[in-house]
Structure 1
Amino acid sequence: MKKLFKKKLFLLLLVTIVILIVIGVSSRKNSKINYLASAFNFIMSPLQQFTSYTADKVDELTGYFGDVKTLREENKKLKERVELLEDEVRKLESYREKNEELKEALNIKEQFNDFEFCGADIIARDAGNWFNVFTINVGSKDGVSESDIVIAQNALVGRVMSADIMSSKVISIIDVDSTVSARIVRTRDLVVVKGDLKLKDDGLCRIEYIEPHIDISVGDTIETSGLGGIYPKGIVIGEVKEVRQINNELNRYAIIEPAVDFKRIEEVYVLKRKY
């Protein structure tokens, strides 16, 4: 063990002496050691350049991953901000809808001041895609009675056909059993709007037996006439979509597109008569 230690110590001392000699010689001008060092540097230069290039690329790669981490953090923050903004938009949209509902309610009060009104939600409907007959969540306890008028979006939906204590059943203007005394707004001509078995599947109704003297055109607005004792005057029913002839010019009928979307209706107003 001592011999091994002495041997290592000797080698270390020898290497140190050689290094000191090389340093001393190389410090002299025109030393051959300098030429050897220059040759060595020339040979090693490409390796040094490669090492330097590799180190730069490693630094760039390290910086890239650092940038990616930063971008991920910023992206996460932006996503959170977008979610907050989307939530605010949804709230604003809800407020806008409520505001429209309040405006609608106010318009109803001003237009039909002879009636009391109450809002209602549709809670059930008969089989099919359209609300030709449906149930609302107000009834006799709310003062609703048979033949009360039902509207939505300031347009005619139909009438109450029966009222229970907590709910009521409504028949809409597209149902085959519905008949409404109406008039053409442009000409003031009187007509009758009825539900139709085939047209109700498309959410439409019709004006039957249009007399020859009546001037009716596509785009005309149809509203209630106030005749017949059920529907008050001036409630919009819909618009003439098409005028058809049967056999000759004297036998015409018109297809009406209601102002209310009977496929997506959710809330209505019931107009209750003041006694």
Structure 2
Amino acid sequence: MPRHAKNTIFILVILTIFLLVVIIISSDPNSKIHSVYKVLSVPVQAVQKGASNLATGIKDRFEAIGSYTDLINENKRLKEEVDKLQGYKNRNEQLETENQELRALLELKDYYQEYDLIAANIIAKDVTDWYNEFTLDAGTQEGVYIGCPVITSKGLVGIVSKVSAHTCKVMTLVDEQNVIMARISRSNELVRLRGMTPENYEYLLKLDRISASSDLYVGDLLVTAESGGVYPKGIAIGTVIEISTIAETETRYAIVEPLVNLPKISEVYILSLPEKARITEDKE
């Protein structure tokens, strides 16, 4: 270190010590040099005030940082609570759905006592026409045979058209080849339903040959009739959503919307008569 730098540091140290001694001595009110203390205390107090303000500012900054960290942690905790509550809600909804399905199954078993109810899952759909035909994971080994009605708790789905050992194909009620004898639930009038070619992905049924005296209204519920021996009577089919008249022939027809939402079903029930009952029915 250069000599003049050492001298400068030495002088500053001596001056600092001298000022401290003067301040200490002059701080006594009875001291003859008390006036010196008053003069020196002004800049010292200014420095103290500045240092105090700086310390307070630093403290406030750290407290603000601490509060922000607390807010982040609280926000994270609340998000975890929301996720947990959403999980409980989803689970409760799932349990409620399962309970509804079980209650519906018990009601179906009670209503169709002469049938065995075989639960089945849809495992494949016709790639050319998804809602006219699909495949179930139940076959002859489970008691399924050609002609078994297929339903859900809401109503009719279709009929088994092909069967193998452990799978079967179902022709749905909206297939054009499907003809269903039905009754208007309100009036018990016998009518005939046919599947319709889907338009704009709307899968509907057509009620044709409506007589002039027919008591039919929009909103009427149609159920399967006992005629034909294909379906047991009373299975809900759908509701009338439109009634129109063909001008040339002045004949009326109606459009019926199935109660079962075909695009959304994944599980169904197959109504299977026990073998003895089937033999008796065939003889009749």
Using structure 1 for the length normalisation, give the TM-score: 0.86
Shift of 1:188: 1.3
Is the Cα contact below 8 Å between 1:220 and 1:239 reproduced in 2?
yes
Is the Cα contact below 8 Å between 1:212 and 1:250 reproduced in 2?
no
SS at match of 1:256: strand
Is the Cα contact below 8 Å between 1:174 and 1:200 reproduced in 2?
no
- Partner of 1:187 in structure 2? 187
Instruction: Judge which range, 235-244 or 48-57, deviates more.
Output: 48-57
Classify 1:30/1:173 alpha carbon distance in 2 versus 1 (closer, same or farther; 3 Å). same
Q: Partners in 2 of 1:180 and 1:80 — Cα distance?
A: 54
Q: Partners in 2 of 1:267 and 1:82 — Cα distance?
A: 32
Segments of structure 1 that go 5 or more residues without pairing to the other structure are 1-6
Instruction: Judge which range, 19-28 or 182-191, deviates more.
Output: 19-28
- Partner of 2:208 in structure 1? 208
Is the Cα contact below 8 Å between 1:224 and 1:234 reproduced in 2?
yes
Shift of 1:111: 1.1
Classify 1:88/1:22 alpha carbon distance in 2 versus 1 (closer, same or farther; 3 Å). closer
Q: Does 1:154 align with 2:154?
A: yes
- Partner of 2:131 in structure 1? 131
Segments of structure 2 that go 5 or more residues without pairing to the other structure are 1-6, 278-284
Is the Cα contact below 8 Å between 2:108 and 2:153 reproduced in 1?
no
Is the Cα contact below 8 Å between 1:175 and 1:200 reproduced in 2?
no
Classify 1:270/1:41 alpha carbon distance in 2 versus 1 (closer, same or farther; 3 Å). same
Classify 1:37/1:25 alpha carbon distance in 2 versus 1 (closer, same or farther; 3 Å). closer
Classify 1:52/1:191 alpha carbon distance in 2 versus 1 (closer, same or farther; 3 Å). same
1:225-247, CA deviations, whole angstroms, 9 ceiling, x for partnerless residues? 11111011111001111111111
Shift of 1:248: 5.8
Classify 1:179/1:30 alpha carbon distance in 2 versus 1 (closer, same or farther; 3 Å). same
SS at match of 2:146: coil
Classify 1:27/1:188 alpha carbon distance in 2 versus 1 (closer, same or farther; 3 Å). same
SS at match of 2:215: coil
Is the Cα contact below 8 Å between 1:149 and 1:160 reproduced in 2?
yes
Instruction: Judge which range, 71-80 or 237-246, deviates more.
Output: 71-80
Classify 1:13/1:43 alpha carbon distance in 2 versus 1 (closer, same or farther; 3 Å). closer
Q: RMSD of the TM alignment (CA)?
A: 2.8
1:157-180, CA deviations, whole angstroms, 9 ceiling, x for partnerless residues? 010001110100000111111111
SS at match of 2:262: coil
Classify 1:9/1:62 alpha carbon distance in 2 versus 1 (closer, same or farther; 3 Å). closer
1:204 maps to a residue whose letter is L
Classify 1:15/1:218 alpha carbon distance in 2 versus 1 (closer, same or farther; 3 Å). closer
Instruction: Judge which range, 106-115 or 9-18, deviates more.
Output: 9-18
Classify 1:270/1:16 alpha carbon distance in 2 versus 1 (closer, same or farther; 3 Å). closer
Is the Cα contact below 8 Å between 1:238 and 1:258 reproduced in 2?
yes
1:114-156, CA deviations, whole angstroms, 9 ceiling, x for partnerless residues? 2111100000011257422100000000010001000012300
Instruction: Judge which range, 185-194 or 66-75, deviates more.
Output: 66-75
Is the Cα contact below 8 Å between 1:117 and 1:271 reproduced in 2?
yes
2:230 maps to a residue whose letter is I
- Partner of 1:24 in structure 2? 25
- Partner of 2:247 in structure 1? 247
Is the Cα contact below 8 Å between 2:26 and 2:35 reproduced in 1?
no
Classify 1:127/1:36 alpha carbon distance in 2 versus 1 (closer, same or farther; 3 Å). same
2:80 maps to a residue whose letter is E
SS at match of 2:254: strand
- Partner of 1:86 in structure 2? 86
SS at match of 2:145: coil
Classify 1:200/1:163 alpha carbon distance in 2 versus 1 (closer, same or farther; 3 Å). farther
SS at match of 2:201: helix
1:48-78, CA deviations, whole angstroms, 9 ceiling, x for partnerless residues? 4443333222211111211222233333333
Instruction: Judge which range, 245-254 or 105-114, deviates more.
Output: 245-254
Query: Where has structure 1 moved over 6 Å in runs of 4 or more?
Result: 7-15
Shift of 1:215: 1.3
SS at match of 1:174: coil
Q: Partners in 1 of 2:20 and 2:52 — Cα distance?
A: 27
Using structure 2 for the length normalisation, give the TM-score: 0.84
SS at match of 1:229: coil
